[in-house]
Amino acid sequence: MKVILLERVGKSGHIGDEVTVKDGFARNYLLPQGRALRATEANRAKFARDRAQIETRNQERREAAAGIAAGLNGKSVMIIRQAGETGQLYGSVSSRDVADALAADGYAVARSQVDLANPIKTVGIHSVSLNLHAEVAVSVTVNVARSEDEAKRQATGEDLTSINYDDEANVAFVEAQQEAAAEADHDHDA
């Protein structure tokens, strides 16, 4: 189906481009969302008449998205979920959860703007991109943890997904080495 784009659409084209897209993409996405018009003579005339207004509206949306992106750039959000010892979540973190976490921090981000191909299913720090406008994208960091304390530890770079059953033995070994070093220093000073 031939359509006239009213805004930039991915790799399809820019404002005013007349492109051929699959019928389902046009019928189910572009036309209902007001991102394109069918390429008829009446719509071509309407687009030519309203082009300046359409470009102005697109510019305003892009500037608003850029303002939000400036506040979000490098932003980190924390999501607490239950998980097993290996770091596998009981459930997952979806685009809705990321949008809700950003909304709790005061950022108006729609679920459809969160570009999450697959749900997050493990504890850890994940980078998630947000498409705020066809020409404005930003990346945020999502810290998925079992508790706030664990999230803080992950933020410092600690890997909590690996199981270490020897933690107590390692602590005892390190303490013993430190005591031996302290005694050696004490004996050396005397």
**In which residue ranges of the chain is CATH 3.40.5.10 found?**
2-67
Task: Please report where in the chains the tokens 């685009």 appear, as a residue.
Answer: 95
pLDDT value at residue 162: 57
Q: State how beta strands 136-145 and 76-80 pair.
A: parallel
| Whether 157 contacts 180, CB under 8 Å | no
Q: What is the pLDDT along the chain (190 residues), one digit of tens a residue?
A: 999 998 888 778 888 889 999 999 999 999 998 889 999 999 999 999 999 998 898 889 889 888 888 888 888 999 999 998 888 999 999 999 999 999 998 888 889 889 988 999 999 999 999 888 888 889 999 999 998 888 888 888 777 665 555 555 556 666 766 777 777 666 655 5
Q: How far, in Å, CA of 86 to CA of 149, rounded?
A: 17
pLDDT value at residue 98: 92
Task: Please report where in the chains the tokens 């009981």 appear, as a residue.
Answer: 90
pLDDT tens by residue, 21-72: 999 999 999 999 888 999 999 999 999 999 999 889 888 988 988 888 888 8
**In which residue ranges of the chain is CATH 3.10.430.100 found?**
73-164
pLDDT value at residue 182: 72
Which homologous superfamily is 73-164 in? Ribosomal protein L9, C-terminal domain (3.10.430.100)
Using alpha carbons, list the distances in angstroms from residue 165 to 33, 85, 171, 178: 54, 11, 11, 22
**pTM of this structure:** 0.69
| Whether 134 contacts 110, CB under 8 Å | no
pLDDT value at residue 133: 83
Q: Which two tokens stand for residue 78?
A: 């924390």
pLDDT value at residue 42: 93
User: Does the domain made of 2-67 have the CATH classification 3.40.1280.10?
Assistant: no
